[in-house]
Every structure is written in structure tokens, then in C-alpha cells.
Chains A and B, each alone.
Chain A
């Protein structure tokens, strides 16, 4: 197992380095810079040049690149132009928001996705199967922002059960956190449930036709043991892969949900940074996201090895 982890980490290093370089280059290739965002809609050319000078953006690109790599070697990702704080601090402030929301959404996704996928597989071609798949399809097809707004209208305006937006940290008020994140988490989860339900269904259908499942049934094992222990355990490899993708999307791609519900997560942080051309924040933020995605991939690899001894032997 240790070797699996080490190999995954070794494989990830070039990926991270490449991403940092591409990020730096791409951001400099996109026209527009921070001066337009800070100067406002009616700033003059001279005023915008003044802003660029104030922020050191008038230096040659290669000088800026060298400075950034120099900082990286000292574990210094620089300071955000806008936030007035270190990129590391700014990112760590947002990570708990995104993590807690993603975790909540993931729990909903896993429950709804796996249960509806299993039910659909067990009752293939019945109304249960069709209803589960239709539910999954609706979740994938509905625009995220529209679903969010509809939920606000129903649960906030008409029923008055939940707040329209904003975020309350769990550590400050657990009930407030639950109230402020329920609609965003559902909105985020429904998008992913379809994907998970469909992969669970197809994998389960494949596994349920295997000889060992038939043997288990022939041995007279109760249905829950056949499904839970023999079928589901063997179907978990592709499901774990999809869960890895879902977690990655939830953490880094929740921009729309965060915007609709005014939640200050990593998605909003990066979107604002990109729109404002806050270069240090974009570079540092994307580096964090890359590290996180690499971490999730390593976790998926480890889960493969844990679930399937063949993987351990092949890679070990």
C-alpha cells in the first residue's frame, strides 16, 4: 500500500509543476488586467497606468515569473492584489466553506445516487427503474442556477423555512450552518446524483449477472448480504472513480451555486480573482486546487488498492 501511495505522489509532481507553468502563461496571455477592475468603469488611461505601476505589473513578464517561482521555493505564494492578505491565508479561509458544503452535498449525492442506482438495477425495466433514471436525468438536465432560484422562491419566499443566501460557519452556529447550506448542497448534489445513479445502476447490472452472485444466491444467502457484500463490493471500483470526480467538481466547480446563494467559497474566490486579473490569487488558488485534485486522485488510487487486492499486487 505504501508503494502505491509513493508512486502516486511521484507521478503527481510533474503534473503540479506543469499546471503552475501553464497557469502563469495563460493568465498573461489573456488580455486585460487588474487596473480595469480597480479603476472602475470610468477610470482614464492614465489612472489605469498608475494602478499598474503601483502593483508592479509594469515589470517584464519573465521578471514576474522568476519572482513567483522564487516565492514558491520559499513556500510564499505572494499576496492577493485585492484581498490585502497572503494567498495562502485567503485560500485557507475559504477551504472550510467549500469543504463543508461539498461534504454535505456528497452525503446527499451518495445516499440518493447509490440507493437509486441499486434500486434501479434490482428492479430493471420496471417502473422503479424508470422513475429512478428519470429522477437522475432531471437532476443532470436542470440548470443549476435555475434550480437554486426555484428553491429560494419555494423554501425561502413562500414557506420561509430557509434563508435566501449567505453562509454561517459550522463552528459558529451548527444549526445556522445547516440552514444556510441545505439548499446549496441539494442544488449541488442533484447535479451529481444522476451521474452516480447511472454508473451505479450499470455496474450493478453487470455484477449481478456474474457467476459468484448466482452462487451466493444458490448458497441461500439472504438478499441483503448478496447485494451488500458480494455485488456492491465488486461494483465499487467504477463507483469510487465517479465519486472522485464528483468530489473534485464539488470543491472546485461550485461557482454557480456559490454565486446564487452568496457563499464565499473557493469557487467564488477564483472566479473573482480571474475576473479581476488578480494574478497572485489565481496562480496560488489554482495551485491549491491542483494539489487538492491530485490528493483526491491519490485517495482514489488507494481506495482501489484497498478494495481490490489485485490492484495491490499489480502496482505493489
Chain B
């Protein structure tokens, strides 16, 4: 890599042109409500199935970001999208409607990071002018794929997380705005032996810690170089483990760390460890953090979407859960 062992430095500063977030009613009832661009009133979004609803969410996020940037779908060179459903049907079905060249992505809840890295690389290499990086998740579609029917009377375990209903899209471009993608660290798949599918924060924390420490090593930075180091969906408990793991590497990130899963819901909303899902990091980044980056309240941040690479088959066969995390560094160009 051009910037150490696992890190890429984008030499031409791909710009963050715009961002858009759309969320479900539970997310809108949470503490980040003022920052979201659109809230849907019902989980089904007026569609016949929750899968169709998620697809509509995904499309709304992409078109929202395009409109926000004052562009039309014709200006977009590529849509890089992903989601949690089998064969990533949400992203590909929304791309079917959009009529824009499409690259499908999957790395569970860290898909957003992967999409941003590919988008920024395409722009940095001069191959495309605009790339729309989008991900989504929906509580009701994820629940039935990974867990139980919605109406089954089960209890959430204390370490479990609530899949975020929502979609976020970041539009990257050659020009536009002051915020740019500075560098990115591609994470390795790390498995520390956690096998409980309801304890994904613990399964992903080692991957996040390794990626962050590698990023800091590659760039020669300390944790407080960034205003915030933002993990995707480790949740409350996963974040504790993440900070402990970093501490064992001699990195103290407690002062600058935030977690999207932890931020999106508050304690009263009965989501034991917070939110999760491919939409979690993308809606929080494109709402709260996008706003603060644009107004200049945050000047440097490291976004680290985290993913648990399990499937229902792998957990039934007793496999442990591998985790992945990619880190993307955003910076704001100072006024000269």
C-alpha cells in the first residue's frame, strides 16, 4: 500500500459532496432525530413487504444525496451499494430502478466503509467523477433472516443489539465542498473466538481495535490527531472491549471515541446495547457527522464501520464469528 502496511493515502483528495439519511420511526424517536434528513412514519413505508420497504429506503437515500448535491442521476458514474439481505437484493433492486452503473458490496455492517474506500479510490484514480456510496438495513427484514419471526414472543439477550431501519448515502466527487477523504485503512478479518450471534459487539471489537491501531501506526498519528474516532456498531459493551483492547496496545482513545450504534438509540428505547446493521454507520455518518463536518465543528475524523461476518448457516454449524473493520479518514480543508 502507498501509506504503510494496510493504508492507502488518497493523493487527489476525493471530496464528500453530499450526504443523505433516511430512518424508521424508532430511530426518529432517538437522540439523533434533529440531524436526519427524512423519517418514515411506518416501518413498511407503504409497501407490500418489508424487503420492498428497505429497497425504497435505499433508493430514497441515493436520490436524496443526488438532489442535495444539485445533480441528476445522469451525472452519477457509479453507485456502490450494499445491505444485509441474502444476495444483497436491496441494493441491486434499487440499482435496477436507478439506471446508474452499479457495484454491489457485502461485508455485513461494515459495508459502508468498503463502499467509501472503493468510491474514493475510483475518484482518486481519475476514473469517475461522482460515486454514490450507499448502504441500508431494516429491522424487520434482518430479524427474519438472522433470527425469529417478528411476532414471536422472545426476549432480547443483554448483549444483543437492535438492527437499525434506515439508509444512508454519501456522494463522493472529484470536486465539491471542503471535506475530503484523506486516507483509508483496509482491515483484516479477525476472529477472537466469540460464537454467540447475540454478542456481535464482542465479536467485532478486536477487528476494530486492530484496524485503528494499524491505521495509527501506518500514518504515524496518535489517537488525539482526530477529533473523533467513530466505530460503526460495537454498541455499549463492544465499545468497552474496543477501548480495553486499544489500551492493551498502549493507545488511549477513550476521549475521542464515539460509536454510531451507541449514539442512535437512548437507553429508554429498550435496545440492550444500542443499534447495529449496515444502515447504522451510514445513517449516523450522513446525518450527525456530516452536519458537523460541513459546518466545521469537526475537522478530522476516522470512521470505522464494523462488521460481523456470520451467516445463519455458520452459526448453526458452531463456527465462531469473524469480524472486520475498515477505517476511513475524513478531513476538512481549512479556509486559506
- Does chain A bind chain B? no
A residues neighboring B (CB under 8 Å) = none
